[in-house]
């Protein structure tokens, strides 16, 4: 038995199916997490003959591609040359000289370090000032 009927907006139906004519199955599937076996009924098979639809051209930037992308290889620039270790060592000692001069001058003028509390927080605080 076969029936024929026409849609009012046939162009919209053709667009929904991307203009792909053929046999379509209308199925009713009833299921739930509490049901061990879902009900699956084939209600009707429909044979659609649709006019071809012009596929709109999609810009490359809007196209979704599900293919593997090419591997990105990073080029890092060459690190700058470091100075010889003797230069770094001399710099550290020259940076420490002003601190030593300050401590020597404080001892010379007689700063009383005896009244300074010896708790770890005070030592850390004053070390941070230096």
Kindly give the confidence (pLDDT) of every residue in the chain, 130 residues in length, as a single tens digit, with 9 standing for 90 and above. Answer: 666 666 667 777 777 777 788 898 989 988 888 888 888 899 888 888 877 777 777 787 787 888 888 899 988 899 899 999 999 999 999 999 998 998 899 889 988 878 878 888 988 888 887 7
Count: domains in the chain: 2
- Round to whole Å and give the CA distance between 22 and 3: 16
What is the rounded CA–CA span in Å between residue 97 and residue 126?
18
Contact between residue 28 and residue 43 where contact means Cβ atoms under 8 Å apart: yes
Structural domain harbouring 36: 10-48
The angle subtended at Cα 130 by Cα 91 and Cα 112, nearest 5°, is 125
The two three-digit tokens of residue 123, written as one number = 């030592």
Contact between 49 and 14 (Cβ < 8 Å): no
């Amino acid at each position: 038995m076969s029936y024929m009927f026409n849609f009012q907006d046939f162009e919209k139906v053709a667009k929904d199916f991307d203009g792909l004519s053929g046999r379509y199955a209308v199925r009713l599937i009833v299921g739930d997490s509490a049901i061990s076996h879902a009900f699956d009924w084939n209600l009707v098979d429909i044979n659609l003959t649709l006019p071809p639809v012009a596929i709109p051209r999609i810009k490359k930037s809007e196209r979704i591609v599900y293919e593997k992308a090419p591997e990105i290889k990073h080029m890092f620039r060459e690190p700058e040359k470091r100075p010889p270790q003797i230069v770094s060592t001399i710099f550290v000692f020259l940076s420490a000289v002003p601190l030593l001069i300050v401590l020597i001058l404080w001892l010379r003028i007689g700063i009383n370090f005896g009244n300074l509390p010896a708790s770890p927080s005070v030592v850390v605080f004053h070390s941070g000032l230096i």
